[in-house]
Amino acid sequence: MSLSLPRARVIVPLLAALVLVAFAVWWLLLRAVAVPMATAQSGALPSQVHGPGTLQARVATTVAARINGRIVKLHADQGETVAADALLATLDTAETLNRQHSAKAAVTAALHQETAAEATVRHAQATLKLAEQDIARTRSLFKQGLVAKAELDKAVAAEATARGALASARATLKARQAEVARARAEIDVLDTQLGYAQVTAPFAGLIVRRYAEPGQTVSPGTPLFRLIDPSTLWVVMRVDESQSGAIKVGQPARIRLRTGAEVRGHVARIGLQSDTTTRELEVDVALDKAPQRYAIDEEALVAIRTGQAKGALFPASAVLRRGTQTGVLRVAGGRAVFTPIELGTVANGKAVATSGLKPGARIITRPTGIKPGTRVKPAKAPAR
């Protein structure tokens, strides 16, 4: 029986729409998407704490000028290794030498004044001794009635005057001696300052920066060089409080510098003061051996090995995060199922789930774009 033309015009589009709907349902719900899969294995990986940091030196100092002066010569430059007490810079000493000559002349003059004061004291002592003898004799004669009271009073006054003159002479001598001491102290200070004109390295090390240039006038405290001991290099690392409990002094670490160098190290010190804003604390990781090339304050990434994480081992590419949850897409009944896990550690392209995933479970190794509930099938291995 043939359909009439009007009915055919209605039924044919309807059938076509039903076919499209059926195809869409099959495409969205029934079609299995080919995805790469892997089977979780029982295993372990070294557990690690990762964090950023900067390269520093535990033993470091800024060598600065200690006197006013002009830089006559710089004997070292940044990048050079110097020995302890090595000459680094020479400052102009002309002004200090002039002051030293003046101070020596002041000492000579003060010594002459001291000698004169000593002579005055000796003279006053002799005068007092004569006055004391005279008053003793006059008192004896006065008792015998051989001299008048006026003579005795005169002798007493002379003795008092001589005693006062001696006290004054001794005070003058003391003042002259103080002047000599001050002048000699000034010479000692200037001698020390002349020594400061020769700027030397306080310890053997590497000059990482030169701040000054020849001809520059400097004052006390002006930086000249930055010196470090390369054997004390370490990375000042920042670690979240939640991870710090697993870190112990002596644990091995792997350090990757921004320049690309990779070196080994170990935990040397753990800070006890946490940052109230970032909730991080400082961990100092010492380098076992300095790399050939590095820069102080260079950025670094540190991985501290804190032990081993055991559980279900699987490719790290399978790790998926949904909001605050970490998990994987496990294959169950031919469909993708989001499974939350406790991630132990990730290393060398592998990950360990310490809970939430059992060995033998099939998981999707590249879950990007795959939604939970999607029908999946193993992707064919590429032909070689």
Name the H helices within the chain: 5-25, 94-143, 149-196, 241-244
**CB within 8 Å of 16: residues ≥ 6 apart:** none
Give CATH 2.40.50.100 domain extents, the chain: 68-90+198-227
pLDDT at 1: 47
Which residues make up the CATH 2.40.30.170 domain(s) of the chain? 51-56+231-308
Architecture per CATH, domain 68-90+198-227, reads as Beta Barrel (2.40)
Q: Regarding beta strands 376-378 and 33-35, do their DSSP bridges make them parallel or antiparallel, or are they unpaired?
A: parallel
Residues 293, 285: Cα–Cα separation, whole Å: 18
pLDDT for res 5: 56
Q: Start-end ranges of CATH 2.40.420.20 in the chain? A: 32-44+309-378
pLDDT, residue 21, reads 61
CATH 1.20.120 residue ranges of the chain are: 94-196
pLDDT by 10s per residue, the chain, length 384: 455 556 656 666 666 666 666 555 545 555 688 899 999 999 998 888 889 999 999 999 999 998 888 999 999 999 999 999 999 999 987 777 777 788 778 778 888 888 888 888 899 888 889 888 888 888 888 788 888 888 888 888 988 888 888 898 889 888 888 888 888 888 787 777 777 889 999 999 999 999 999 999 999 999 999 999 999 999 999 998 888 888 999 999 999 999 889 999 999 999 999 888 989 999 999 999 999 889 999 999 999 998 888 999 999 999 998 888 999 999 998 899 999 999 888 888 899 998 999 999 999 999 988 999 889 989 876 555
> How far apart, in whole angstroms, are the C-alpha atoms of residue 235 and residue 375?
49
pLDDT in the model for residue 73: 93
Q: What is the pLDDT of residue 109?
A: 83
- Collapsing DSSP to helix, strand or coil, 200 comes out as strand
Nearest to 255 by CA among 201, 216, 294, 210: 294
Domain 51-56+231-308 is in which class? mainly beta
pTM over 0.85: no
pLDDT of residue 7: 62
CATH topology of domain 94-196: Four Helix Bundle (Hemerythrin (Met), subunit A) (1.20.120)
* Residue 6: Cβ-neighbour burial (10 angstroms; 0-12, 13-18, 19+): exposed
- Let me know if domain 32-44+309-378 sits in CATH 2.40.420.20: yes
The pLDDT of residue 379 is: 85
377 near 33, Cβ under 8 Å? yes
